[in-house]
Structure 1
Amino acid sequence: MTQSPVTALNDLARLRDAPELSQETCANLRAELSQAMANASWFTVGVMAPTAAKALAALRALETSQGWDTMDVVDSTNEIGPVFLKANQQGGSVRIRIEYGLGQGILITGHGEDENQPSTTWGPLPLNFF
């Protein structure tokens, strides 16, 4: 495997697709992400995946890894194709729609309780990151 230019969360921000990462890089990014997420009150998650099942599996792994309550799928698609999954932790809802032309990966946005704490987005992280 070629060496990834990703060594920190900020390196992901310029990417359209989640890169392949070594186990060591994943471990380092998980530690950095954990610290960054500790400053947020709640989260939204976007998952760009080739299928609805893969998007939902990535979300469920994230929920488990963070000890979050399972969010409810309130809108989905039966169509076959690439999807965008949007999960809102505050509302506990998940929506999945067909979306062509996207990359693949997980985007996590941390939110504060009010506008004084700016939202921060991390990713795209690989679908199997969690």
Structure 2
Amino acid sequence: MNESHIQRISDLTPLRSAPSLSTEQTSVLRAELAREMGAYSWFTVGVMATSAAEALRSLRQLETACGWEPMRLEGECKAEDGVFLKANQSSGMVRIRAEQGLGEGILISGHQQEQGAAGPTWGPFPLDLFTT
């Protein structure tokens, strides 16, 4: 899919890696995401990045943009050839593991307080989508 055709969050779903977005696309997608997230109580976040530092930076930007309390990093990962960060807002925990061959981007899943009430997964969004 041509990056210029990305107009809605659903346009990202078939992608393996997040595309580069224009300022206008970023604004439109962030507004749509905020509306979608409004229907859920808490979130899990997956970040595919080249390094643990890059993945954690993207998560911290998301937390700030959403007004979330920072989640706690459990353990340490110094991989520089690809990582996957998994953050669970309900538990407040973040784990990062080495994982090569993934794309790059942020995945966000909505959840309800009731067990088993998982919503959709949105993304992959660019790692800098929540840069302020």
Percent of aligned positions that are identical: 51
Contact 2:3 2:20 (C-alpha < 8 Å) held by counterparts: no
Bigger shift: residues 2-11 or 86-95: 2-11
Partner secondary structure for residue 4 of structure 2: coil
Cα distance in 2 between the residues matched to 1:75 and 1:24: 38
The answer for the alignment partner of 2:66 in structure 1 is: 66
Contact 2:105 2:125 (C-alpha < 8 Å) held by counterparts: yes
What runs of 5+ residues in structure 1 fail to find an aligned partner? none
Is the counterpart of residue 114 in structure 1 residue 111 in structure 2?
Answer: no
Partner secondary structure for residue 64 of structure 1: helix
Shift of 1:80: 2.7
Shift of 1:119: 1.6
The answer for the alignment partner of 2:98 in structure 1 is: 98
Deviation string 1:29-57 (CA, Å, 9 cap, x unpaired) is 01100000000000000000011100000
Listed as ranges, the matches of 1:1-130 within 5 Å are 4-114=4-114, 117-130=117-130
Contact 2:109 2:118 (C-alpha < 8 Å) held by counterparts: no
Cα distance in 2 between the residues matched to 1:87 and 1:79: 17
Runs of 4+ in 1 over 6 A off after TM superposition: none
Partner secondary structure for residue 64 of structure 2: helix
Cα distance in 2 between the residues matched to 1:121 and 1:106: 10
Contact 1:44 1:88 (C-alpha < 8 Å) held by counterparts: yes
Shift of 1:3: 5.1
Q: How does the TM-score come out when normalised to structure 1? A: 0.94
